[in-house]
Amino acid sequence: MRLFAGLLAGQSFDSELTGDESLTKRPMGRVADPLRLMGATIDTAEGGRPPLKIHGGAPLKGIHYDMPMASAQVKSCLLLAGLYAEGETRVREPAPTRDHTERMLNGFGYPVSREGDTCWLQGGGKLTAGPIDVPSDISSATFFLVAAAITPGSDITLEHVGINPTRIGVINILKLMGADLTLENEREVGGEPVADIRIRYAPLKGIDIPVDQVPLAIDEFPALFIAAANAHGTTRLRGAEELRVKESDRIQAMADGLAVLGVEHTVVEDGIDIIGNGNDSVPSYGGGRIDSLGDHRIAMAFAIASLRASDEIVIDDCANVATSFPDFVALAQRIGMGVSVEGANGV
């Protein structure tokens, strides 16, 4: 929705963007406000929420925008609007965010420049078509990386996974925790670096997660919380307040689930401390019934948690897993996990 807002703001026709229950709770003022600075006419629902009503035909002018918080979606939205704007659109980010849009535009022959924390483009250029190879998604791969990292005897290779430098926080964090993880067959495809990732079981230890890795792993934290619950010692996360405005408040949703399993933890406003109970020979925690709040990453994280639980874990409200990762259950079964789907919404 945030990317389309940028694309549609520069068109001559009116558009309305809406979404499901989860999406209609997401804050859209963070794209609507800078688009209005560019000259777009956009109406939102109360609190800057969807639906977004975009009135076409407004001439856009390039702006220099300092993003108040790091967001690849906001940056990409403004760059896409900048294609249709007069003059230069320049975006400065307070911390590094994923750069797939810049790489894609350059790949289509539309120059996007970058220096330090700022990227920019000129409006009115041309895109040239070309083939696209979409590598496997590291956010989806993460669930299987953590599954192997916490399960004695595991040895899994995930093929053709994108290892864009703005996305590899999960690899760096798992390595800091002691994971036996190697990158093999590294290459570049369509402007994006890819590799096969091999991960074998090794005992994990709790760490203080470096703040500079947080934006590089923001979507991977639900799974990393499960890694932390299976590590020896305490893992501390700070600087992750963005997790509270994802499909759910992911800090609280994960904390509530960890509490059900009996994992010791302390929640703070911008993070969490998780006291792991890693031990090869005994389960790390108990079982129980988890409410995923309709958040696919929460559901998949607790499915992975079942590998080291002493009892069954039942996860409610899982329909969204089929939307974001349709093959998750089949792949989990293929590597030997005991996952089954009950009814329409449970795992």
Distance CA 158, CA 143 (A): 11
Tell me the CA end-to-end span of the chain in Å, nearest whole number: 28
Token pair, residue 107, equals 């790949």
Buried b (16+ CB within 10 A) or exposed e, 289-301: ebbbbbbbbbbbb
Distance (Å) of CA 115 to CA 119, 289, 333: 6, 49, 45
Q: Is 249 left (phi over 0), alpha (psi -120 to 50) or beta?
A: beta
Q: Return d(Cα 265, Cα 259) in angstroms, integer.
A: 8
Q: If residue 54 lies in a helix (H) or strand (E), which one and from where to where?
A: strand 49-55
- How far is 168 from 246, CA to CA, in rounded Å? 19
Amino acid at 197: I
Q: Which of 20, 66, 196, 219 is catalytic?
A: 219
Amino acid (1-letter code) at residue 232: H
The answer to whether the CB of 89 falls within 8 A of the CB of 120 is yes
Alpha-carbon distance of 166 to 302, in angstroms, equals 26
Question: Is 219 noted as a catalytic residue in this protein?
Answer: yes
Length of the chain: 347
Helix (H, G, I), strand (E, B) or coil at 277: strand
Instruction: Say if CB 255 and CB 201 are below 8 A apart.
Output: no
Look up residue 40 and give its amino acid: A
AA identity, residue 289:
R
Rounded-to-integer distance, Cα 278 and Cα 232, Å: 5
Catalytic residue annotation: 219
